[in-house]
Every structure is written in structure tokens, then in C-alpha cells.
Amino acid sequence: DVVMTQSPLSLAVTLGQPASISCRSSRSLVHNNGNTYLSWFQQRPGHSPRRLIYQVSNRDSGVPDRFSGSGSGTEFTLKISRVEAEDVGVYYCMQGTHWPSWTFGQGTKVEIK
Amino acid sequence: EVQLLESGGALVQPGGSLRLSCAASGFSISSYAMSWVRQAPGKGLEWVSVISYSGDDTYYGDSVKGRFTISRDNSRDTVYLQMNSLRAEDTAIYYCAKVPYGDYANAFDIWGQGTMVTVSS
């Protein structure tokens, strides 16, 4: 299985300041078709996961534009340009390139400083 | 509104069985592959199983292969997870999640609220 490794595992951010989460995969996530299938999910406290980003940088409907994804190959980043109180939660990266064995990162907990 | 509603979670003894259900509303599941993802208490997300839109193809994670069976009833817009030979390490919230049309690689665009399974004597 492809191992996904996130860093940091915990992040305390001042309101209005940027935040950045890194995700590395043990194998390239470039599919045979040339696309890269890396998604980001947000899980607010007490809630189900919600997909924010798919295919590295595409925002899902309704996701604020302060969230952005980037990266290629084996290294990816989720950035929040200005953290708001509602952004508190755990963020997971997930690879879909090597389905049917989808794998998630360990999660990064974002809290307000 | 597109929604998934899981049910069937319970406290069960090791070695026991349980069947989870996931009912869709706001859309018909007949065109979509559907999946189960679980989360042990205080832990991260683990993919469990997926079933194609027709039910012809099913896949399982190594930790549940041979013990769990996924199925679907498109006429009822419902997906099931039959769990046998349950172990303590199967204790988790089980989420149902939808796969976008024909796009397994970009899976899990919609999630249910989850149902809790506890395996303990």
C-alpha cells in the first residue's frame, strides 16, 4: 500500500494568519493517464469528514477560496491563506491514484493559538 | 439535499456479526460506486470496502478481507456492510461515502454522519 505521511501532526495558528500542511506519499501519485489523484479532507470536531480539494488543486463546491492545494509527484501541500475559527479540526490527505486501495495520511490537527 | 444516513451500529461481542446500512436521499445511488470508510476512536481514516454501481465488482481492505461483505440494493438506494467474525480492532465509526460518477480515483465526495460499532465482551 502507498503510505501517506503528513506534517506537522499538530498546528496552532493565530486567527487571520496562514497555515500550511504537508503530505508526502511513498510512491508517485501520477496515474498512467497523466493525472495526479491527491485529495484533502476536513473533519471538524464531532463531524464527518468533508472533501475540500481533489486532484491536487481543485476545490469542491462551496469550499472557501482561502483553501488551496498544490504539489506534484510525491509532495503536496494544503494552504489556508487566513485561518478562521471555523477551520479548526483535523485535515487528512488521501491518495486515489492507486485505487482500489485508497490510503489516508495520519491527520493534522489545526487549532487556534 | 444529497445525504447518506448510516444505521445498524451497536455493541457486539468478539466473534459476533453485524450488518450496517447506508440509505441515500436526494439522489439515486444506481449510477455510483459506494464505499465504507472507518475511524477507530481518536484515530485516523481507514478505507474498508467499495462496490461498483452495478454490484458486480467489490474490493476490500486487507484488514477486513474474508470477514466483511459489501452489497447494495439500488431499488432501495441502500448499501450494506455485513461484518462477521468481529474483533476488538474493528471498533470504529463506520462512514458511508459516495464515489463520483465513474471516477474512483477522486473518491469520497459525499459522506454520511457515521454509525458506531463497538466490539467488546
Per-residue pLDDT reduced to its tens digit, B38-62: 999 999 999 999 999 999 999 999 9
Distance of alpha carbon B14 from alpha carbon A96, whole angstroms: 32
Q: Which positions in chain A touch B114 (Cβ < 8 Å)? A: 48
CB atoms closer than 10 angstroms to residue A8: 12
Q: Which positions in chain A touch B109 (Cβ < 8 Å)? A: 51, 54, 60
CA atoms within 13 A on the CB side of A113: 11
Q: Do B45 and A55 touch (CB under 8 A)?
A: no
pLDDT at B71: 98
Average pLDDT estimate for B7-24? 98
pLDDT tens, position by position, B70-119: 999 999 999 999 999 999 999 999 999 999 998 999 999 999 999 999 99
Quote the mean pLDDT of chain B. Answer: 97
Of A92, A100, A103, the CB nearest to B59: A100
Of B45, B109, B113, the CB nearest to A104: B45
Q: Do A37 and B113 touch (CB under 8 A)?
A: no
**Residue A96: which region, alpha, beta or left (left: phi > 0; alpha: psi -120 to 50)?**
alpha
Judged by a CB distance cut-off of 8 A, whether residue B94 touches chain A is no
Q: Do A92 and B45 touch (CB under 8 A)?
A: yes
pLDDT at B65: 98
Q: Which positions in chain A touch B105 (Cβ < 8 Å)? A: 31, 35, 37, 96-97, 99
Q: Do A48 and B111 touch (CB under 8 A)?
A: yes
pLDDT at B104: 94
Judged by a CB distance cut-off of 8 A, whether residue A24 touches chain B is no
pLDDT digit of tens for each residue in chain A (113 aa)?
A: 999 999 999 999 999 999 999 999 999 999 999 999 999 999 999 999 999 999 999 999 999 999 999 999 999 999 999 999 999 999 999 999 999 999 999 999 999 99
pLDDT at A86: 98
Contacts of residue B14, Cβ cutoff 8 Å, sequence gap at least 6: B86, B87, B88, B119, B120, B121
Q: What share of chain B is helix, strand, coil (3-state, %, to 5)?
A: 10, 45, 45
pLDDT at B121: 96
